Structure 1
Amino acid sequence: MPTEPAALSSMIMKAVKSGALILALATLGQTAFAAERLYIFTENYPPYNASESGKNFAHNEDDITGICTDMVKAMLARVDYDYVMKMRAWSYAYNWVQGRENHGLFCTARTEEREDLFQWVGPLASIKWTLFAAPDSDIKLDSLEDAKGLKIAGYKGDVMSEYLVSQGFNVVMDVSGDVNPRRLTLGQADLWVTDGLVGPLVAKEEHGITGLKPVLVFRETPMYLAFSTNTDPAIVADLQKALDEARKAGDIEKIVASYE
């Protein structure tokens, strides 16, 4: 049986060891939490996603706004995950996110071709696949097939552009779609494929061009926050629940109304 001082010393050592264990567990917990940081990417695609500076890149969420952006922020506000939000060129972000844990991309059109490439949170908003002509154009289309012999402006990584290419259309693509309204007015392209809201907005804000003619709407697709397949499905489920709650509370409807 230990003496009283020895017993006291033993108790102190146990406390020290216990404290060290608690500290170790706390550190482990912090490491696990840090591992759940989400890395969210988007592109400059007003009015759905837009940089406050008007540039095609941004480094944090305070510099990014737009319909989809505000929906994603409303969703993230309802969960405990830390996150980083950045704006990059679409083709870069689309390739960067795939294969990386806890990486997501919005607003991503959910198509049959992309279904197995991501895990999906949404829907957020919808895009209308629209063919625009120049203000002075006399082009009229009754169906998509009527555009087969025409030159169409698009951009790399865009789901609408890629679809037209896969169907044998003549699509001229660049890294960004911002130059396409000018291509129409300069006669470098007959049509421009983009979303019905995006086209007129980009044309006016980037080039001062008004009066673009929407000659054909040929499809409508829901847009989502798309996470890599390497991301824990539990995280995706948490975010879907948060979005559903935000929609039920009326937050999503208010965001849409604020941009009308």
Structure 2
Amino acid sequence: MPAIPGPGVPTPLTVIRRAAHALLLLAMVPAAFADEKLYIYTENYPPYNASTTGQGFAHNAEDISGICADMVKEMMARVNYEYVMKMRDWSLAYDRVQGRANHALFCTARTDEREDEFQWVGPLAPIKWTLFAAPDSDIELSSLEEAKQYQIAGYKGDVMSDYLVSEGFDVIMGVSGEQNPRRLTLGQADLWVTDGLVGPLVAEEEHGITGLRPVLVFRETPMYLAVSTETDPGIVQDLQRGLDEARGSGALDSIVSRYQP
């Protein structure tokens, strides 16, 4: 006959019940407290994302700033996930994120063509699809169709460049857009497609070129944090909640105001 436990000593059945209860509680822990690490990529695209070291790449969040970068950091401060933020060439980062759980990319234009490729957190900030000409150019445009007669500088993986290629425009595709202002001034391209804020900033900071002429704004799209489809939707919901809280607090408006001239 087994011994009877004394007062205060749990029976084997009580121990089993307590263990089962503990396992149940552990299973109910929200995703926000799970041991998840997120890998977030961006490109050098000032003033939205920029390397603080002056280089076109970065290995951690401390070396990345900009409108969208600061918005993403503000969002991450409101959720319980560890994360790594890196800056790479856009085409490399875009390919890196797809097909990998817990990977994301910003600032990504949300278009119909990309809708099913990612889960979306946002919006962050809008971009204006703009065609720039050299300071001494006499090109005038009243419609996008009129630009088909010109050679346009773009870059691989950029949504604006890819759109123009799909519509039959003559686009020079580089690895990044940093050399495109020089292409305009050297006569290697007639126009440059980029965001309305990015164009003049890159031209002046990278090449000392001022006076670029915005000859046509032909579209505006919101930019988002694009999260891989392999990522748990619960994580995406947590990130959206964090961004919404940041917006509601006024933190996102404060970020935008810091970068306005």
Assess same fold via TM > 0.5: yes
- Structure 1 residue 55, shift from structure 2 partner: 1.2
Q: Which residue of 2 aligns with 1:187?
A: 187
| Structure 1, unpaired ranges of 5+ | none
Q: Which residue of 2 aligns with 1:108?
A: 108
- Structure 1 residue 54, shift from structure 2 partner: 1.6
Q: Which amino acid aligns with 1:131?
A: L
Is 1:73 matched up with 2:60? no
Is 1:90 matched up with 2:90? yes
Q: Which amino acid aligns with 1:57?
A: F
DSSP-derived class of the 2:168 partner: coil
Separation in 1, partners of 2:242, 2:34: 19
Separation in 1, partners of 2:194, 2:220: 11
Q: Which residue of 2 aligns with 1:141?
A: 141
| Structure 2, unpaired ranges of 5+ | none
Q: Which residue of 1 aligns with 2:230?
A: 230
- Structure 1 residue 241, shift from structure 2 partner: 1.2
Cα deviation, 1:221-241, whole Å, max 9, x if unaligned, reads 100000011011111111111
Matches within 5 A, 1:129-208: 129-208=129-208
Separation in 1, partners of 2:217, 2:125: 17
Separation in 1, partners of 2:3, 2:216: 93
Q: Which amino acid aligns with 2:147?
A: A
DSSP-derived class of the 1:120 partner: strand
Separation in 2, partners of 1:170, 1:107: 25
DSSP-derived class of the 1:58 partner: coil
Cα deviation, 1:139-191, whole Å, max 9, x if unaligned, reads 00010011101000000000000000000000001101000000000000000
Moved over 6 A (4+): none
- Structure 1 residue 107, shift from structure 2 partner: 0.2
Separation in 2, partners of 1:136, 1:126: 29
- Structure 2-normalised TM-score? 0.89
Separation in 1, partners of 2:133, 2:177: 15
Aligned length, in residue pairs: 248
Separation in 2, partners of 1:3, 1:235: 50
Cα deviation, 1:205-247, whole Å, max 9, x if unaligned, reads 0000000000000000100000011011111111111111111
Matches within 5 A, 1:15-54: 33-34=34-35, 36-54=36-54
Separation in 2, partners of 1:95, 1:110: 16
Cα deviation, 1:50-70, whole Å, max 9, x if unaligned, reads 011121110010010000000
Q: Which amino acid aligns with 1:33?
A: A
Q: Which amino acid aligns with 2:240?
A: Q
- Structure 1 residue 33, shift from structure 2 partner: 3.1
Is 1:120 matched up with 2:152? no
- Structure 1-normalised TM-score? 0.89
Cα deviation, 1:19-62, whole Å, max 9, x if unaligned, reads xx79x97x999xx933x211100000000000111211100100
- Structure 1 residue 2, shift from structure 2 partner: 5.5
- What's the % identity of the aligned pairs? 72
Bigger mean CA deviation after superposition, 236-245 or 153-162: 236-245
Q: Which amino acid aligns with 1:214?
A: P
Separation in 2, partners of 1:54, 1:130: 25
Separation in 2, partners of 1:257, 1:3: 74
Q: Which amino acid aligns with 1:195?
A: D
